[in-house]
Amino acid sequence: MFEKNIKDLHEVILNLKVDHTVLRDKVKTELVELQNMMNDSMKIKSIQTKKGHDVIQKMTNEIPTLKAKLENELYDVGAPELLKQQIHSQFENELQCSICSKLLCKATVLNCDHTFCEMCIMKRMQKFKSCPVCKAKFKFTSKCITLDNYIIMNQNITGGAKRSAKDVLPSIPPAVEVKKRRRRR
């Protein structure tokens, strides 16, 4: 009788291990999908047509849904902290300013599609007239409010910095207008 109970318990344990492995693999797959979506969203260029804005909005709307789904499954698997740290680490690597090497704060996109903190790029524009990454001349800048909101939301979800980007930076004057140089005659 005890042997049968032991065998039954052993069988239950094996089934739980299999279920755990299946769930873990499923979560890993969804993590890869989320990372791919984040990479894809970073590659999207500044599109000024309505169709481009719709695509960006759709992807932005899908990210929180996938993130919430992934977090729910992480808690089911029983190892939420490790995967949560991996997501946060990947997030910080992808959305890092190449000037200050910190998480983007008031994200600003240049005409060459490189993204920087607003304060960092404004300081750079006062001294230099080209992008720090590709050396393209400044023509225009654009604030990326959607990206700012995503960063703040992700920090709240993953337990990142408790202060929002708006609290960290003082108000900055309107974007510096890049002027074309005229040739002297």
pLDDT digits (tens, 9 = 90+) for 122-154: 999 899 989 999 999 988 888 888 888 888 887
* pLDDT at residue 15 greater than cutoff 70: yes
* pLDDT at residue 168 greater than cutoff 50: no
Q: How far apart are CA 35 and CA 179, in angstroms?
A: 38
Confidence band of 22 (pLDDT split at 50, 70, 90): very high
* Res 163: pLDDT: 43
* Res 177: pLDDT: 46
Q: Write the CA distances from 175 to 75, 121, 127, 146, 172, integer angstroms.
A: 43, 10, 14, 18, 8
* Res 123: pLDDT: 92
**What is the pTM for the complete model shown?**
0.42
pLDDT tens track for 76-128: 665 656 767 777 777 777 788 889 988 888 889 998 988 899 999 999 989 99
Residue 30 structure tokens: 């969804």
Q: Which of 178, 109, 108 is nearest to 138 (CA)?
A: 178
> Is there a contact between 79 and 112 (Cβ–Cβ < 8 Å)?
no
Q: How far apart are CA 155 and CA 162, in angstroms?
A: 7
